[in-house]
Amino acid sequence: MIPNGKKKRKAALLAVVLFVMAMTGCRQKYTDDMIRENEAESNILITETGEEIEKPEEIHPSESASPTPEQPEKQTGPIEFDIPVPDQTMVDQEPTPAPEEENKLQLVFLGDSIFDSYRDGTGVPYLTAKKCDANLYNLAIGGTCASIEEDEVSSWEEWTSTSLCGVVNGMLKRISLDIFDGTRAGELLKDPDIDFSKTDYFIVEYGTNDFFRGVRQSDDDGYNLKTYGGALRYAVSNLREVAPDATIILCSPMYAQFYHNGYLVGDGNMTNNGNGTLFDYVGTCNYIANEQNTLFLNAYLDLGIDGYTIDEYLEDGVHLSEAGRILYSDTLSHMILSYEETKNN
């Protein structure tokens, strides 16, 4: 039998223990609730390991392209999406140099359909040259990548790629120019009166098609032409052979949204096509620009195209509308003119 005094002491001790446990549980619950509340009100996620990461931005699909109420089942495998093809307006009204205009800046554009589309006086290269009062040669080819295909060879004798690397090699007359037949770039590359060594600015815009194709961004070989970063490096170093005094501007891919069978499946912030998101390719372009000491236009962020403004500036989630082309040319021409002013001062 336990004496009454001992019973009372045990009861008091048990009460203290229960009180401490209750208060600890309340504090834990309060702390967990506060963390969840703070996470909901901010753009920071706290992982189980305590690491803080930034939430990806939400996508805002176009109302005009909104899916019907009958939504498809959520995909559990790799994301599929359609690659839009822009209307190619090939009426060539882009300005070409005349003898009395030799004192003007010479701009040479290399890129994909963002620069190749709308050669009717409303395209980005034409509008940029007009705002800079400059001569231009537009060597862009729609649908092309910076990198060469995995099954293409890089020897000049067997070269077949019309990629960025191919256009640069074409300017240096290293490869047969017949592979460019049927393109405006091919006509310009074959024109004996064009002197690319007089170029003041090379404006290089690639990356979206590299993303679509799932091209590796880099590997241990810094100049691997089958990677996005390697192709950019190769192009920059060889453009400096074409025109040693020229300024090179590397333009990143723009923000984009991706659709499959009419349904929005992702955007450039979230969709990984095997070797990173589109925004990851922007980072690689920025890295190469810094490494190679070129100018860099962050078209993904600096144009102000995002999930809220996409209806105004993009016509199919990827390609620029007329308002988008004006916006792009305004930004690019401002960069060129500002840099010229810096050089002249």
Same domain, 176 and 46: no
Query: Which of 26-30, 182-186, 216-220 has the weakest average pLDDT?
Result: 26-30
CATH number at residue 297: 3.40.50.1110
Residue 233 lies in a domain: yes
The pTM for the full model equals: 0.78
How far is Cα 160 from Cα 151, in angstroms, rounded to an integer?
Answer: 10
Same domain, 120 and 192: yes
Residue 83 lies in a domain: no
Considering the chain, what percentage of its residues have pLDDT values greater than 90?
68
Query: Which of 70-79, 190-199, 284-293, 306-315 has the weakest average pLDDT?
Result: 70-79
Same domain, 40 and 132: no
- Residue 227 reports pLDDT greater than 90: yes
Domain count of the fold of the chain: 2
More confident residue, 23 or 307: 307
Same domain, 259 and 141: yes
Selection from 269, 248, 267 nearest residue 257 by Cα:
267
Same domain, 46 and 185: no
Q: What mean pLDDT comes out for the span 305-323?
A: 97
pLDDT tens-digit map of 13-69: 445 444 444 444 444 443 444 434 444 444 443 333 343 434 345 455 444 343 333
How far is Cα 183 from Cα 185, in angstroms, rounded to an integer?
Answer: 5
Same domain, 17 and 126: no
Same domain, 34 and 103: no
Q: 129 with 201: CB under 8 angstroms?
A: no
Same domain, 170 and 298: yes
Same domain, 149 and 219: yes
Torsion of CA 263, 213, 56, 264, to 10 degrees: 0
Same domain, 116 and 262: yes
HEC secondary structure over 164-190: HHHHHHHHCCCCCHHHHCCCHHHHHHH
pLDDT tens-digit map of 202-211: 999 999 999 9
Residue 4 lies in a domain: no
Tally Cβ neighbours within 10 Å of residue 125.
Answer: 29
Structural domain containing residue 27: 12-52
Residue 294 lies in a domain: yes
Find residue 297's DSSP bridge partners.
251
Residue 252 lies in a domain: yes
Same domain, 120 and 48: no
Reduce the DSSP state of residue 326 to 3 states and report it. Answer: helix
Residue 300 lies in a domain: yes
- Residue 127 reports pLDDT greater than 90: yes
How far is Cα 124 from Cα 227, in angstroms, rounded to an integer?
Answer: 26
Give the pLDDT band of residue 343 (cuts 50, 70, 90). Answer: confident
Beta strands (DSSP E) in the chain are 44-46, 52-54, 106-111, 135-138, 201-205, 247-251, 257-260, 263-267, 295-297
Residue 41 lies in a domain: yes
Residue 75 lies in a domain: no
Same domain, 113 and 229: yes
Burial classification of residue 84, based on how many CB atoms lie within 10 Å of its CB (0-12 exposed, 13-18 middle, 19 or more buried): middle
